[in-house]
């Protein structure tokens, strides 16, 4: 017998259908090592699920002007904003972890947004990608972002895209996977994800852009230098692939 995945999960955990759907949509529900992608997808009612626990956000730094958070994967930037009560200066994708900066002060936020606009912010990420990247490379391809039904997806467009530059440095190779440092001068939606996918090295777990399913999308915002601040978030334990 089959039923919708969220209904089967709700029955097993003794929770509401709404809560079960939310867990699946967050990317927290697995069958074995495979993530359940579609809450309304049909699944065998005897299927046994595994639900991943969300890590708690950690404060990296705080003063009278700014709050820097180490955002866990599966949590949205908007949820961090809501819970903190402060304004976002930038955003991270839901499954991207790492440095997220919020402003407590209107004047500081104005200055910070201007720094982003003028490309004066240092943004360093780490990612595990598919395939072997043997040497440094710079990807300079314009990106066009299209939003539909509240969701964004980007692609390379030489005619309509905006400037996007990503510097890639290989850090470690394990099997047929490479850990890379990605430094972005620009900050287009899904920039690192789109650039690496176009280079033939999609980020592990980034199924939107051709990556193979994984526990999470393996992209982490490690360091940001903004105005006189320098924030750094330690890599999550799951980045230690062995």
Q: Which of 33, 93, 149, 230 is catalytic?
A: 93
Name the DSSP class of 203: B
User: Using CA atoms, how far apart are residues 113 and 123, in angstroms rounded to an integer?
Assistant: 14
What are the structure tokens assigned to 91, written together? 């955003």
102: Cα separation from own chain's centroid:
17
What are the structure tokens assigned to 112, written together? 């910070």
Backbone angles phi, psi at 106, to 5 degrees: -60, -40
User: Using CA atoms, how far apart are residues 19 and 9, in angstroms rounded to an integer?
Assistant: 10
Q: What is the CA radius of gyration of the chain?
A: 19
Minimal CA–CA distance to 129: which of 140, 118, 139? 139
User: Using CA atoms, how far apart are residues 164 and 187, in angstroms rounded to an integer?
Assistant: 7
User: Strand 177-184 and strand 165-174: pairing?
Assistant: antiparallel
Contact residues for 16 (Cβ-Cβ < 8 A; gap 6+): 10
User: Strand 66-71 and strand 97-103: pairing?
Assistant: antiparallel
93 is known as an active-site residue: yes
By annotation, the residues acting in catalysis are: 93
């Amino acid at each position: 017998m089959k039923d919708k995945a969220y209904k089967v999960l709700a029955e097993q955990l003794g929770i509401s259908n709404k809560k079960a759907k939310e867990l699946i949509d967050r990317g927290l529900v697995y069958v074995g090592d495979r993530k359940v992608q579609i809450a309304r997808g049909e699944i065998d009612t005897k299927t046994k699920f595994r639900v991943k626990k969300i890590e708690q956000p950690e404060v990296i730094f705080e003063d009278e002007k700014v709050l820097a958070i180490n955002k866990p994967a599966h949590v949205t930037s908007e949820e961090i904003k809501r819970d903190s009560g402060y304004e976002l200066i930038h955003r991270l994708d839901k499954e991207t972890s790492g440095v997220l900066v919020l402003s407590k002060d209107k004047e500081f936020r104005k200055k910070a947004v201007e720094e982003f606009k003028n490309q004066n912010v240092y943004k360093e990420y780490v990612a595990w990608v598919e395939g072997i990247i043997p040497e440094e490379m710079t990807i300079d391809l314009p990106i066009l972002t299209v939003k539909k039904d509240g969701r964004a997806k980007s692609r390379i467009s030489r005619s309509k895209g905006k400037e996007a530059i990503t510097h890639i440095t290989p850090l470690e190779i394990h099997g047929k996977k490479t850990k890379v440092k990605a430094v972005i001068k620009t900050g287009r939606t899904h920039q690192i994800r789109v650039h690496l996918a176009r280079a033939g090295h999609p980020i592990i777990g980034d199924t939107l852009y051709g990556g193979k399913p994984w526990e999470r999308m393996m992209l982490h915002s490690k360091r940001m230098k903004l105005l006189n601040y320098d924030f750094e978030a330690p890599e999550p334990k799951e980045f230690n692939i062995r």
